[in-house]
Chain A
Amino acid sequence: MPQEKPPHGSVGKVGLIRDLSLFDITMVGVGAMIGAGIFVLTGIAAGTAGPALILAFSLNGVVTIFTAMVYAELGSAIPEAGGGYLWVKEGLPAWNAFLAGWMSWFAHAVAGSLYALGFGSYFELVLRNFHMSPFGLSGELLHKVLAVAVALLFVGINFKGVSETGKVGNVVTLGKIFILGIFIASGLLAIFRNPSYLDKLTPFAPEGMTGVLMAMGLTFIAFEGYEIIVQAGEEVKNPRKNIPKAIFLSLAIVIPIYLLVAFTALGAVNPQSGQATWEWLGQHAELGLAEAARQFMPLGTTLLLIGGLLSTMSALNATTFSSTRVSFAMGRDRNLPDLFSKIHWRTRTPHMALLFSGALIILMAVAVPIEDVAAAADVMFLLLFLQVNIAVVTIRKKYGDKLDYGYLIPFYPVLPIINTGLISFLAIFMFHFSALAWFVVIGWITAGFVIYSLYASRREREKEVTPIVLEERWVGPAEQFRVMVPIANPATAELNLQVASRIVQSMDGELLLLHVAAVAPQTPFSGGRQVLQQIRPVIDRSADVARELGLQAHSLVRLSHQPSKGIIHTVEERKVDFVVMGWRGRSRDPRTLIGRNIDEVVKQSPCNVLVVRQDVSIPARHILIPIANAAHANLLLSVGRLLLSDDANRRITVLHVVPPEMAEETKQDRLDEIKSSLQQPGFFDPEGTEIRLDGNPVTLESEVSTDSVGTIAHRSREFDLMLIGSSQESFLRRRIFGGKPYLISQRAACPVIMISPETSPVKFSIQTFFQFFWELDQEAKAEKRH
């Protein structure tokens, strides 16, 4: 293989050549659709739905058109390699994008395996007709060997380049349209001569709607070729116009062909056995169409075999192409290793992505019972389409009219919403068709989650570069309890360091001093040295303060376009347990609650965050901890005990305010729960130490009031410090410290420290997911107002 050379003239991002015309790209879509689906599955689907196969194809056509409209809009606006995967990445939270790509790659590759095996079956039949047995092989082994051979052939053709791929594909696609055309014409002629044959099409749906839905699920894979059109987005000339047109034109060619093939196969055959035609076709299963052709078409079986071979080859070509493009796009986005994004210097094709996709196609073809995995590919396509239908709504919200659309879906957003319902129904119904398919899907998705959390998410974060320009550390154990203090101003940092030092000392942990130097959004991360010169005094001063507090500090300086990003990256990268941040007491920006950076850190950091108002003085003699329920009560009390002075009169009052209308029993239960949580060994305490609530120094008090905020604010006059946790209200209502905690902190008569406790990874993911949509909505509204 030739040496890797950088592509000529590439700057940063690797790109592909735009040399597919409207005709080429339409043929790519048609070739992908008229594949093994129609040749192999027509007989089987007829046996499932009966003559209502025509209805199943029509309904699949409707579902397909709805999603195709969404693809046309997005494909015209964002015509980049990756298609559906890319849009989900753009319009949904990050893990959805990874999963969309992961599922799409698998679905296309497995569809390729199905087509390779379909080719093997047809070619084996041809050899059998000629009484040939290459290398003495026969049966299943020959079948598999042929599948591997044809898969390798198309990997080679795809390596040659997209232009060659397109030319070969066009010839193959036109050839099979010609053969199906003869099949349809001969069938219509036979029906015209024997109109009584049509009587056998009654009853129309012998298996009812269940049979129709099962046939829809079974043949859905034959309708998803437009996905492959958008995969080639980066290689299409004038993509804004040609991609949506190619999607619609390919459907205009394919759907009528499917309906006519089903009609002629069901109507032009007169089984000698006296069976109903649909039963006869079902009995012949994957060779049903070839057997039908034998009855009414000149050179029927031979031509159908040639058609089957051409179809499986062109579909294999298209799926090899698409699976390669998805994995290439994932590699480029650092969701898969970098080698997936390499482009061969001579052929300008993503050869490594092609190699891996080819390997996956061959592996699945050889090792796995392909029928069920093909059904799994169907479900994965449906799940991908489901995400794309949601993404079209969020992308419009996110970018508004900034994108240059070549087509806009009508009846937005009703159409994608209806489509989401239809697709969900069909995907769920597939369980009825093949439970194993769903198990494979769940297995693949679970594997995807594992890869995402252990590998891809980290690399994704690395892509959002916040380079480190200085790191000074003392040697300590790698796995240590870490408290991080982001420092912007050494004068205000002192208080945060005092709070942090109490936590570090109690846990024998490590203090991490982070300085994030903000670089203007359009400015590159060069000139780190100059930044370092400016920030050096701040670093040294902060390290001195830490030393005075008896701590060895680990200093880190990084550059970022947004300070919160630098902080969040460090939290994740260094596995920080606590972040201590300072707060002036009010936000200068009306769009934020506490402050833009603090808001972001609290929302996006999966660790405990302490937000210290700058009028706090520690140690404190009298600390008030308002508690609404048992959750996190223990953490709040533990922090309170760390910040409490040694004075003889010191006290911590845990205050629980209940509304008067609350039933006595509920009130008591809640109080008991809080008591039990408070008495458990504290967060920072050695095991087994039970906390007593006897006033020495901790007391639990309960007050009845209709105005909990007012009562707590009033009581705060008696205290030096108040610790308040984030509310347990629904996260959609809460938004950071929104709701009561924020109101209390505003009205409190004493200084306040707000604590956002660590969230479990699952809850954190769910919160982040919904927050994504909420923020998108808020941004869209803000932009509109602006």
Chain B
Amino acid sequence: MSLEHLEQAGLLLPREEWGKHELTTTAKKPILLILGAVALLAVGWIYWGDGRFLTWIGAGLFLIVLFGFILLSIQAINRQCEEP
């Protein structure tokens, strides 16, 4: 697939817009970083909890982080698609 093919398939932006967009994510990176750190902590707790209370706290925290991440990603998609 070449540039021409992608253009024919309607997958490229109009030529006049080339070079005018920054390829930066619309996701909130600081929050993602915090979520990533909490996810690491959660996985650590799952393991080090050795099947006791801390393990279940870790598992619960992991699920919360997962939902937070998904929410941020959906928001990022909406923002990206709304961009002119």
Contacts and interface: CB of A to CB of B under 8 A. Distances in A.
B62 A404 contact: no
B49 A407 contact: no
Interface string A632-651: 00000000000000000000
A58 B55 contact: no
B73 A403 contact: no
B57 interface: no
Interface in B38-84: 39, 42-43, 46-47, 49-52, 55-56, 59, 62-63, 66-67, 69-70, 73-74, 76-78, 80-81
Given A58-B43, A245-B77, A410-B25, A403 B13 contact: yes
Interface residues of A, number: 55
Given A52-B47, A248-B73, A410 B19 contact: no
Which of B17, B47, B50, B51 counts the most A-chain CB atoms under 10 A from its CB? B51
Contacts of A521: 4
A181 to B, nearest CB: 16
Interface string A733-753: 000000000000000000000
Provide the main secondary structure of the chain B interface. Answer: helix
- Say whether chain A's binding surface is mostly helix, strand, loop, or mixed: helix
A252 B67 contact: yes
A80 B42 CA distance: 37
B66 A204 contact: no
A65 interface: yes
Given A401-B20, A403-B12, A51 B66 contact: no
B22 A401 contact: yes
B55 A54 contact: yes
A55 B77 contact: no
Contact of B66 (A205, A241, A252, A401): A252
A78 B10 CA distance: 10
Nearest to B29: A410
B76 A404 contact: no
A402 B17 CA distance: 8
B50 A248 contact: no
Given A90-B1, A256-B66, A400 B51 contact: no
B21 to A, nearest CB: 4
A249 B67 CA distance: 10
A404 B52 contact: no
Contacts of A399: 3, 6, 12
Contact of B51 (A202, A240, A405): A202
Q: Which of B62, B76, B77 has the most CB of A within 10 A?
A: B77
Interface of B: 1, 3-4, 6, 8-9, 11-13, 17-27, 29, 32, 39, 42-43, 46-47, 49-52, 55-56, 59, 62-63, 66-67, 69-70, 73-74, 76-78, 80-81
Given A58-B62, A61-B66, 20 more contacts: A51-B51, A58-B46, A78-B6, A78-B11, A198-B51, A201-B55, A204-B51, A204-B55, A245-B74, A245-B77, A248-B70, A252-B66, A256-B63, A256-B66, A259-B59, A259-B63, A401-B20, A401-B21, A402-B13, A404-B11
